[in-house]
Amino acid sequence: MTDFRLTALAQSLPDTVPFVGPETEERARSRLFDARLGANENVFGPSPIAVRVMAETQHWMYGDPESFELREALADHLGIRPDMIVVGEGIDGLLGYLVRIMVGPGDAVVTSDGAYPTFNYHVAGYGGVLHKVPYRHDDHEDLAALFKKAAEVKAKLVYLANPDNPMGTAHDGTDIVAALAHLPKDTLLVLDEAYLECAPPQVALPLPMDDPRVIRMRTFSKAYGLAGARVGYALGAPELIRAFEKVRNHFGMNRAAQAGALAALDDQTWLRSVQARIVASRNRIADIARKNGLKPIPSAANFVAIDCGGGPEYAKTVLHEMIARGVFIRMPFAEPQNRCIRISCGTPAQLDILAEVLPVAIRASEMG
Amino acid sequence: MTDFRLTALAQSLPDTVPFVGPETEERARSRLFDARLGANENVFGPSPIAVRVMAETQHWMYGDPESFELREALADHLGIRPDMIVVGEGIDGLLGYLVRIMVGPGDAVVTSDGAYPTFNYHVAGYGGVLHKVPYRHDDHEDLAALFKKAAEVKAKLVYLANPDNPMGTAHDGTDIVAALAHLPKDTLLVLDEAYLECAPPQVALPLPMDDPRVIRMRTFSKAYGLAGARVGYALGAPELIRAFEKVRNHFGMNRAAQAGALAALDDQTWLRSVQARIVASRNRIADIARKNGLKPIPSAANFVAIDCGGGPEYAKTVLHEMIARGVFIRMPFAEPQNRCIRISCGTPAQLDILAEVLPVAIRASEMG
């Protein structure tokens, strides 16, 4: 490899992926999954209007490098100015850009142990040093501990997902505001709000979008049902948002995706119907879990983490038994959250499969 | 800005874009262009089968992070192994990843003065030092000078577009092979083949795809007509290709774009029909230029650079007069190529508009 004169940083990085996709697992088992409930996708799908708009897109044209219309529409929707918004290739892409402009070799970054691995991937990829704080015993990310650690290590960034992934727990926005008083002024809070539209209103952060202490990451991948399109956006102070122009892939946005996101945003009726179906689906997943003697963690996202009651090895066995029976699910990476499996919301038909397969998988796990 | 503790490198970067999109210009003039002939898009569009496949995509699912099927199909098509292929968000995205793994602050990189600005943007963005070599007097990139300069500055990368953008000139592959004998073994040739499918067969490089001296960048944006989809791929030695796994945005690919590219690759009949239309369109653009007393540069790409005969200021005036009359074109950035305007291939109807507007723009330029 050194023949290629990679940078010292690149040489030090593993060539592994943050996590494997369901297609990879399907290829490994030479069979499609009967229920795809592992990637926190939105099985209810995007607005039919968005689907039509994407189908009618002239794919021969590059997308608008400014995502002008989408930013204008988001600004209208949120009651803010477009210069507080940058659109990018999903939250994953935007996290990469943010880490790139903020974090150099040796810079400190704080996150929770077991939180979103793709953020960690970017921090490691730019040579940053990750400091991890445990979740609270109630499976919430620990605001006080995160911000205290950030002060201690003089972190450039502190990451918080609200609602949280993989546990689905959420803080009220007012609690985050209160905790922010203890965050050093020169540490930026990266607030990943991918699941915000799945959560009750009090989860939103009641601060102006241009508050310089926070950058919020949002997406069309979850409640809006457009994971395949790759459209995320970040909201923050104009000076910070403008810095993304220094490094982002200006012509990186898919044109149909830009149009689809615009149409999806415009169809709030569809969004509300999806939100209702997510709530119903969460309730049924929790119900199925309880019927099987497992403990669902209350969720504000589009998935439910379920404590299998037997520790990490047992949860892993249940996961494998589910996957072997055609139900794609995932589980948290780190202790003590990895006592759980994580099941994304599904259609009634998919949850029928879940209800059927889960007890069988549990019996198989108990025997194994 | 320093309030945000950007890295020193990020602070030093301008927040400007490599070049503005046609939509930005349309907004500035509050009117759509009558002919969009500036971005080297392919007005003949993608295979209708690809369009249908994209329309039928389930957008709620993430794309396959391995782009497995597309890589398998490309491998079949090229007669190589999938581990010599990485798929990414257009050549722009792949150039960014390549520069990231290879180029750190102070590392030398060589390109031609006036070649693709987005490559330069990435090199600057990672702190690399660009060394620029002039084009030859015949408007070809200067192979001998490029590789000599690479040896002189111990460059990590040397960039060559074949066919060239913005001039449309091309080298025979055998000439590049001969020149490679003079390239240091530890300099990697970045061969941008975005326009290869528009060129005659002898332009292809007759070397194995896994030759460790070269990485080739190809795209579905040009001859395949899928610029809006953002699908590029790089071909090279497996060890080098594998290094992209260290940094790329694994879930960054648009799912419909993956499916569309696969279908487009499969429809070689459509590609051939587009190639024929590109040749006819190039010929007609050259003809229109000559009829107006201008000198077209022979092109192997999907555009024609036209020497307006009056130097850079004159070419700029012609460009502005064209744009003011609803014809979007671009021009080279650097001397002496900026004596030219650059016109992308168009439909017969668009070239009718070109034939009508060009003489008017020239008259206006001569009066101005």
CATH number at residue A73: 3.40.640.10
The CATH number linked to A336 is 3.90.1150.10
Q: How many CB atoms lie within 10 A of CB B26?
A: 17
Partner-chain contact B254 A92, CB within 8 Å: no
- Say yes or no: B26 and B158 in one domain: no
Tell me: pLDDT of B361 over 90. Answer: yes
Of B267, B287, B317, which closes a domain? B267
Residues in chain B within 8 Å Cβ distance of A21: 62, 64-66, 251
Task: Considering only the beta carbons, identify the residue of A7, A103, A251 that sits closest to B102.
Answer: A7
What would the mean pLDDT of A271-295 be, rounded to a whole number? 98
Residues in chain A within 8 Å Cβ distance of B9: 104
- Say yes or no: B273 and B257 in one domain: no
Task: Considering only the beta carbons, identify the residue of A4, A50, A92 that sits closest to B252.
Answer: A92
Task: Considering only the beta carbons, identify the residue of B23, B89, B102 that sits closest to A252.
Answer: B89
Task: Considering only the beta carbons, identify the residue of B51, B58, B243 that sits closest to A6.
Answer: B243
Residues in chain A within 8 Å Cβ distance of B36: 61
Contact B5, A186 (CB under 8 A): yes
Tell me: pLDDT of B319 over 60. Answer: yes
Tell me: pLDDT of B315 over 70. Answer: yes
Q: Can you tell me which residue has the tokens 């918004």?
A: A85
- Say yes or no: A260 and A278 in one domain: no
Instruction: Give the pLDDT score at B368.
Output: 65
- Say yes or no: B18 and B86 in one domain: no
Tell me: pLDDT of A133 over 80. Answer: yes
How sure is the predictor about B170, in pLDDT bands with cuts at 50, 70 and 90? very high
Domain range enclosing A297: 2-45+269-367
Residues in chain B within 8 Å Cβ distance of A25: none
pLDDT, tens digit, for every residue of A150-190? 999 999 999 999 999 999 999 999 999 999 999 999 999 99
Instruction: Give the pLDDT score at B17.
Output: 73
Instruction: Give the pLDDT score at A3.
Output: 67
Of A208, A235, A267, which closes a domain? A267
Instruction: Give the pLDDT score at B47.
Output: 98
Instruction: Give the pLDDT score at A107.
Output: 98
- Say yes or no: A223 and A157 in one domain: yes
**Which residues are within 8 A (CB) of A18 and not within 5 positions of it... i.e. 6 or more apart?**
A117, A118, A120, A121, B250
Instruction: Give the pLDDT score at B252.
Output: 96
Task: Considering only the beta carbons, identify the residue of A21, A240, A252 that sits closest to B66.
Answer: A21
Q: Taking all residues of chain A, what is their mean pLDDT, rounded to a whole number?
A: 96
Report CA dihedral (A189, A195, A196, A200) to the nearest 10 degrees. -130
**Contacts A–B by Cβ distance under 8 A:** 258
Task: Considering only the beta carbons, identify the residue of A46, A89, A245 that sits closest to B60.
Answer: A46
- Say yes or no: A13 and A91 in one domain: no
Residues in chain B within 8 Å Cβ distance of A261: none
Instruction: Give the pLDDT score at A2.
Output: 42
Could you say which DSSP state residue B312 is in?
A: H
pLDDT, tens digit, for every residue of A67-101? 999 999 999 999 999 999 999 999 999 999 999 99
Tell me: pLDDT of B53 over 60. Answer: yes
- Say yes or no: B177 and B285 in one domain: no
Residues in chain A within 8 Å Cβ distance of B41: 60-62
Partner-chain contact B62 A41, CB within 8 Å: yes
Partner-chain contact A245 B51, CB within 8 Å: no
- Say yes or no: A210 and A93 in one domain: yes
Partner-chain contact A102 B4, CB within 8 Å: yes
Tell me: pLDDT of B142 over 80. Answer: yes
Tell me: pLDDT of A215 over 50. Answer: yes
pLDDT, tens digit, for every residue of B88-120? 999 999 999 999 999 999 999 999 999 999 999
How sure is the predictor about B20, in pLDDT bands with cuts at 50, 70 and 90? confident
CA distances from A199 to A76, A171, A221 (A): 21, 10, 15
What would the mean pLDDT of B49-69 be, rounded to a whole number? 98
Instruction: Give the pLDDT score at A368.
Output: 66
What would the mean pLDDT of A323-342 be, rounded to a whole number? 96
Provide ipTM, 2 decimals: 0.97
How sure is the predictor about B60, in pLDDT bands with cuts at 50, 70 and 90? very high
Work out the percent of chain A whose per-residue pLDDT is above 90. Answer: 96
Q: Taking all residues of chain B, what is their mean pLDDT, rounded to a whole number?
A: 96
Instruction: Give the pLDDT score at A1.
Output: 40
- Say yes or no: A262 and A283 in one domain: no
- Say yes or no: A325 and A335 in one domain: yes
The residue of chain A nearest to residue B244, with distances taken between CA atoms, is A15
- Say yes or no: B189 and B332 in one domain: no
Q: Tell me, letter by letter, the H, E, C secondary structure of chain A.
A: CHHHCCCHHHHHCCCCCCCCCHHHHHHHHCCCCCEECCCCCCCCCCCHHHHHHHHCCCCCCCCCCCCHHHHHHHHHHHCCCHHHEEEECHHHHHHHHHHHHHCCCCCEEEEECCCCHHHHHHHHHCCCEEEEECCCCCCCCCHHHHHHHHHHHCCCEEEEECCCCCCCCCCCHHHHHHHHCCCCCCCEEEEECCCHHHCCHHHCCCCCCCCCCEEEEEECCCCCCCHHHCCEEEECCHHHHHHHHHCCCCCCCCHHHHHHHHHHHHCHHHHHHHHHHHHHHHHHHHHHHHHCCCEECCCCCCEEEEECCCHHHHHHHHHHHHHHCCEECECCCCCCHHHEEEEECCCHHHHHHHHHHHHHHHHHHHHC
- Say yes or no: A156 and A121 in one domain: yes
How sure is the predictor about B178, in pLDDT bands with cuts at 50, 70 and 90? very high
Mutate to test the interface with B, among A251, A262, A345 (most CBs of B within 10 A): A251
Of A267, A286, A304, which closes a domain? A267
Instruction: Give the pLDDT score at B1.
Output: 40
Residue type (1 letter), A318: V
- Cα of B334 to nearest chain A Cα, Å: 21
Report CA dihedral (A142, A145, A147, A152) to the nearest 10 degrees. -160
Residues in chain B within 8 Å Cβ distance of A226: 59-60
- Distance, in Å, from the CA atom of A289 to the CA atom of A297, rounded to the nearest integer, reads 10
Q: What are phi and psi of A340, to 5 degrees?
A: -110, 160
The residue of chain B nearest to residue A102, with distances taken between CA atoms, is B6
Instruction: Give the pLDDT score at A19.
Output: 77
Q: Can you tell me which residue has the tokens 């990469």?
A: A96
Give the total number of structural domains in chain A: 2
Tell me: pLDDT of B2 over 60. Answer: no
Task: Considering only the beta carbons, identify the residue of B5, B90, B256 that sits closest to A256.
Answer: B256
Partner-chain contact A59 B54, CB within 8 Å: yes
Partner-chain contact A125 B247, CB within 8 Å: yes
Residues in chain B within 8 Å Cβ distance of A236: none
